[in-house]
A and B are shown apart, each in its own frame.
Chain A
Amino acid sequence: MTEQINTNHHKANLEIFSETLQRLAQNDRDIIAVTSDSRGSGKLVPFGNKFPNQIVEVGIAEQNLVGVAAGLAACGKKVFAVSPACFLTARALEQIKNDIAYSDNPVSAIGISAGVSYGALGSTHHSLHDYAALRAINNIIIVAPADNFETEKAIELAANSNIPVYLRFGKKPMPFLKSNNDDVFAFGKARTITEGEDIAIIATGETVYPALEAANKLKAEGINVSVISMHTIKPLDTNILDKIAKKCSAIITIEEHSVNGGLGEACASYLIQQQFAKPFKIMGIPDEYTVTGSQEEIFNHYGISEQGIAAQVKLLLRK
């Protein structure tokens, strides 16, 4: 561990979501949580106990969850529609597309236990398609906060956003990426976690931390790595892409998502249209029947780990 990684007092981003929402609801009775029997898994039991008039429970009915959320938002409520990311963005995709995005009802759709957080529960419970599905939908911001700092800021911004937001995170405790969280956090503006000119790693959500671990390991071996937390997948921070495309000799993207249609392809699409022609690698979950295991085991299996990422860096730099 280097000084950049603060391992003290870190919590799951999910817990930070719950705490932040309670703090916001305290002073704003328009903050509403809508749940689909997801109160427990969304860590919203305390919220429901403290603010019984600010929680709507629809039962296991995700299409209704999102439609009801849209109707509440249309009447001025600041709505958080909370459901496992896998169901929210597949079962209720049409409601997200039409009732939230197309109808411009600024709901915050909260995808909990995202990516492969559910681990061995398998593919029904994984959300490896959500960036791809939502990237093709107009008028929705897609955010995967990496640490507790990003989560808290993202929830605060989402509460008052006049554009719909999709936010997803997992349930594993996430260390702070920086010891001093004094960055300005804004949707569409990536955070630079560490700077180096040999290669840039652009990661999102819970893959940023292993990228930072790999960067620290490589630094000891004389390879200087930039690590970017691209918490907002859409709109993409193209300014930072322009900057690192000039500065770095290669780029790796990492995401807890299918390698198809997510962060990596979004970056590649932008960069190639800027005549970027350096080594480039998309890391994520390959297009296959995902291996059985915990989130960590799945990450390790597909190389989303300190060792795996470091090896990929060396491969790309031919070192």
Chain B
Amino acid sequence: MYKVSITSKELKQKSVIYRKKILQYISQAKAGHTGGSLSCIDILNVLYNVVLNVSPENFSSPNRDRYVQSKGHCVEALYVTLADKGFFNESDLNTMCQYQSKYIGHPTKKVNGVEQNTGALGHGLPICVGMAIAAKMDEKEYRVFTLLGDGELPEGSNWEAALSASKYKLDNLCAIIDKNNLQITGTTAEVCNTDPLNKKFESFGWAVKEISGNDIDALKDAFSSLPFEKGKPSVIIANTNKGKGVSFMENEIKWHHGVPSAAQYLLAQQELDYALTLIEND
């Protein structure tokens, strides 16, 4: 934990502001992964503002923490967070997904602050295993984090990497699963059930914590107790709500990559503004 100065209240405000911006840039671009970006944004918020030793100043340092977003399609959440961290001017996001923009619809190293190019699913964890092994080889202190979607877990490469992570005792590695229980076709349970995830990861030699992934304090608590067990990789099963923060988007499959209409956009922003006043008055 590097940034302890920020309060939970400030973090909660940031989450709402990030949600507003996610919707703003998706609406402008008329493209994006709305539901998943809203479900994972609290995780990114706590990672970048509390947990990760990553900043524009140290981004070229070999000792920085590494974050690789395996669920690359929720790039809007990452772009908004990185802009807030000062990696680039937020106004750059006005070009997102436009002709010749470097802000494409999946994470790319062309954007300052992005660690690896992702987008095809099942790639983040193997890369992070390599990064975590490198840290152990060099006896470096940095830690490695990756965010996976629950829908990408049937990709076999995740489980190949899970085996290597425990073989190499990578307690400097933390995977976070954005478990919103939905994917493009339906519920993860009906598309390809991967439950019970805790038992699966435990049996693969991981230390597991299951938390509410849209709860700032629960996220802070979980990250502050890493590694969950010395000599084991850690996984946080973050139970989230797809579309979190906008009532008509919550838990609705159609918002996987739905783009709000003008009226829906206004409604969503109003709801988020109201959430901000509630936090302010809390």
Interface residues in chain A, defined as those with a beta carbon under 8 Å from any beta carbon in chain B: 32, 53-54, 56, 58-59, 61, 63-64, 66-77, 94-95, 98-99, 102-104
Contacts and interface: CB of A to CB of B under 8 A. Distances in A.
B105 interface: no
Contact of B131 (A54, A63, A74, A103): A74
B128 interface: yes
Contact of A98 (B115, B119, B160, B164): B119
Given A67-B129, A99-B126, A75 B134 contact: yes
B141 to A, nearest CB: 13
Contact of A72 (B117, B123, B134): B134
A130 to B, nearest CB: 20
Contacts of A95: 123, 126, 157
Given A67-B127, A72-B130, A104 B160 contact: no
Contact of A104 (B109, B119, B120, B133): B109
A164 B62 CA distance: 20
Contacts of A76: 62, 134
A68 B123 contact: no
B117 A68 contact: no
Interface string B132-143: 111101100000
29 contacts: A56-B168, A59-B160, A59-B164, A61-B157, A63-B126, A63-B157, A64-B129, A64-B157, A64-B161, A64-B164, A67-B129, A67-B130, A68-B127, A68-B129, A68-B133, A69-B130, A70-B126, A70-B130, A71-B128, A71-B134, A74-B115, A74-B131, A75-B134, A95-B123, A95-B157, A98-B118, A99-B126, A99-B127, A103-B117
What secondary structure prevails in chain A residues at the interface with B? helix
Interface of B: 62, 66, 109, 115-120, 122-123, 125-135, 137-138, 156-157, 160-161, 163-164, 168
A103 B163 contact: no
Given A74-B116, A103-B116, A67 B133 contact: no
B153 to A, nearest CB: 15
Nearest to B124: A67
A72 B131 contact: yes
B109 A103 contact: yes
Contacts of B128: 71
B160 A61 contact: yes
Q: Among B120, B157, B161, which residue has the most Cβ atoms of chain A within 10 A?
A: B157
B137 A53 contact: yes
Contacts of A99: 116, 123, 126-127
A63 B124 CA distance: 12
A72 B160 contact: no
Nearest to B164: A58
A71 B129 CA distance: 7
A59 B132 CA distance: 18
A288 to B, nearest CB: 31
A59 B62 CA distance: 28
A61 B123 contact: no
B160 A58 contact: yes
A75 B143 CA distance: 12
Contact of B123 (A58, A69, A98): A98
B164 to A, nearest CB: 5
B180 to A, nearest CB: 24
B169 to A, nearest CB: 13
A94 B156 CA distance: 13
Q: Among B62, B132, B164, which residue has the most Cβ atoms of chain A within 10 A?
A: B164
Contacts of B160: 58-59, 61, 63-64
Given A63-B156, A68-B164, A104-B109, A75 B135 contact: yes
A71 B130 contact: yes
Contact of B133 (A72, A94, A98): A72
Given A67-B126, A103-B109, A61 B163 contact: yes
Nearest to B163: A59
A80 B21 CA distance: 42
Contact of A77 (B120, B125, B134): B134
Q: Among B123, B126, B160, which residue has the most Cβ atoms of chain A within 10 A?
A: B126
Nearest to B157: A63
A99 B135 CA distance: 19
Contact of A68 (B119, B135, B156, B161): B161
Contacts of B168: 56
A-B pairs with the 7 shortest C-beta distances?
A: A71-B130, A67-B126, A75-B134, A64-B160, A61-B160, A68-B130, A71-B127
Contacts of B118: 98
A54 B136 CA distance: 12
Contact of B120 (A53, A70, A98): A98
Nearest to A64: B160
Contacts of A70: 116, 126-127, 130
A58 to B, nearest CB: 5
Contacts of A73: 130
A77 B137 contact: yes
A272 B161 CA distance: 46
